[in-house]
Chains A and B, each alone.
Chain A
Amino acid sequence: MDNWTFGITMIVVGMGGTLLTLWILSLLMSFMKRIFPMTKEEK
């Protein structure tokens, strides 16, 4: 693979991977809201 092709592949994989990682984290955060709701004391 030449420098250019490798460079473009890295952009796609890198940006895609970054978005995917943070999207999964956001899903986990949404899930946590349901598992650990506010307690009566906290409210």
Chain B
Amino acid sequence: MSTFEFLQSIIVKTGFFHLTIGHVIMWFIGLFFIYLAIKKDFEPLLLVPIGFSIFLVNMPITPLTGKGDLINLFYHYGLEWEVIPCLIFLGIGALTDFGPMIANPKTLILGASAQLGVYIAYFGAILLGFNIKEAASIGIIGGADGPTTIYLTQMLAPHLLGSTAVAAYSYMSMVPLIQPPIMRLLTTEKERKIRMKQLRPVSKLERIMYPLVATVLICLLVPPVAPLMGLMMVGNLFRECRVVERLLKTSQNELLNIVTIFLGLAVGSTMQAENFLKPQPIFIFFLGLVAFAFSTVGGLAFAKLMNLFLKEKINPLIGSAGVSAVPMAARVSQKVGAEYDPKNFLLMHAMGPNVAGVIGTATAAGMFLTMLK
């Protein structure tokens, strides 16, 4: 081999020789996610690893996503085996105070009605030519619940995982941008000023019984989501029983943080230029926005409907918190309400539908799985 041929063989093995315009476009998409996380503080714990992973896996000929390569292992064991979404739910359960929901069980209905967007987007996806399983995976984006979206998509349409997961997490992070205009459009100023009665205190026994009762009911009614709901409820039991402090702290902190890193890297790795730069993901992002907007509408509209029958009116702004983005959607309800009455504290009231939305989205996913799998 001549020196020239030797140098040529080295150049051919560098990434520069294999770089395409698609890779560069994906770099910019990855950088945009990192920008949103760092500059705009949009879900930084997720968008930083997802953005960097998009950036990384679009470096040509790198041994990262092939069979047995590092990030492929995270993807395979974490997402394909459905381990990561369930462990994330364990952490969410350990972090979540279901007290506001237990104190005001009506808010569970708001969490269910905010799943309207899931079904509207599902129908829209069928109209756009997606098959039924793909449509269900796209529709679930409307629940604004990343782990549930991953769980359902992996079971029904794994080839859409990257697009649906990134759309779900993107819209979760954009709650403060998407929801307020819809909330203002669908409510009157008088409704936005409704003050709600302070929530009753919840007994310790009620808090301990809640995860047990919810597990029995949901596992019996929608068994396919038992892994998600089961781990969420065991996490919540760790929190409420107050005798397993070490397990609780691990679930809330170390375990959740470790799993979040793997989740971000694995989700980002699905966005390789050759898979992602097609019309399909654009439709999915569009339908995800439709889903999310209609979920907000569903929660608001149902809260207004409930007010027709309730003696003690509820502020319809808390209905929009029925999407699962916890606690951001509840904070948005508080913020919009405070714009019209600074002394109106809606946050704790909005936490009820907000945590109910997590259960609602998991139930909606369970309904899809029951019917389609």
List the interface of chain A (C-beta within 8 A of B): 3-4, 6-8, 10-11, 13-15, 17-19, 21-30, 32-33, 36-39, 42-43
One of A13, A17, A18, A42 near B204 (C-beta < 8 A): A42
Given A23-B108, A38-B203, check contact A32 B363 (CB 8 Å).
Answer: no
Given A7-B122, A26-B109, A32-B102, check contact A14 B367 (CB 8 Å).
Answer: yes
User: Contact between B132 and A6 (Cβ–Cβ < 8 Å)?
Assistant: yes
Given A32-B206, A32-B209, A33-B206, check contact A14 B105 (CB 8 Å).
Answer: no
One of B111, B116, B123 near A22 (C-beta < 8 A): B111
What would be 20 A-B contacts, judged by CB atoms less than 8 Å apart?
A6-B132, A8-B123, A10-B132, A10-B372, A17-B221, A17-B363, A18-B360, A21-B218, A25-B105, A25-B217, A26-B109, A28-B217, A29-B213, A32-B206, A32-B209, A33-B102, A36-B209, A39-B203, A42-B204, A43-B201
Residues 332-373 of chain B, each 1 if its beta carbon lies under 8 Å from chain A, else 0 = 000000000000000000000000100110011001100110
Interface size on B, residues (CB 8 A): 42
One of B119, B204, B217 near A21 (C-beta < 8 A): B217
User: Contact between A26 and B108 (Cβ–Cβ < 8 Å)?
Assistant: yes
Which residues of chain B from 177 to 231 have any CB-CB distance to chain A below 8 Å in the complex?
201, 203-206, 209-210, 213-214, 217-218, 221-222
By a CB distance below 8 angstroms, the chain A residues around B284 are none
Q: How far is the CB of A7 from chain B (nearest CB, A)?
A: 5
Given A26-B106, A39-B203, check contact A14 B364 (CB 8 Å).
Answer: yes
One of B111, B119, B126, B213 near A28 (C-beta < 8 A): B213
By a CB distance below 8 angstroms, the chain A residues around B260 are none
B173 within 8 A of partner (CB): no
List the interface of chain B (C-beta within 8 A of A): 101-102, 105-106, 108-109, 111-113, 115-116, 118-119, 122-123, 126, 131-132, 135-136, 201, 203-206, 209-210, 213-214, 217-218, 221-222, 356, 359-360, 363-364, 367-368, 371-372
User: Contact between B363 and A36 (Cβ–Cβ < 8 Å)?
Assistant: no
By a CB distance below 8 angstroms, the chain B residues around A33 are 102, 206
Q: How far is the CB of B252 from chain A (nearest CB, A)?
A: 24
User: Contact between A29 and B105 (Cβ–Cβ < 8 Å)?
Assistant: yes
By a CB distance below 8 angstroms, the chain B residues around A28 are 213, 217
Q: How far is the CB of B134 from chain A (nearest CB, A)?
A: 12
Q: How far is the CB of B142 from chain A (nearest CB, A)?
A: 12
One of B132, B210, B359, B367 near A13 (C-beta < 8 A): B367
Residue from A17, A22, A23, A36 whose CB has the most chain B CB atoms within 10 Å: A22
Residue from A23, A29, A37, A38 whose CB has the most chain B CB atoms within 10 Å: A29
Q: How far is the CB of A36 from chain B (nearest CB, A)?
A: 4
By a CB distance below 8 angstroms, the chain B residues around A24 are 217, 221
Cα A37 to Cα B203 in complex, Å, equals 6
User: Contact between B132 and A3 (Cβ–Cβ < 8 Å)?
Assistant: yes
Cα A25 to Cα B209 in complex, Å, equals 12
Cα A14 to Cα B136 in complex, Å, equals 11
User: Contact between B126 and A29 (Cβ–Cβ < 8 Å)?
Assistant: no
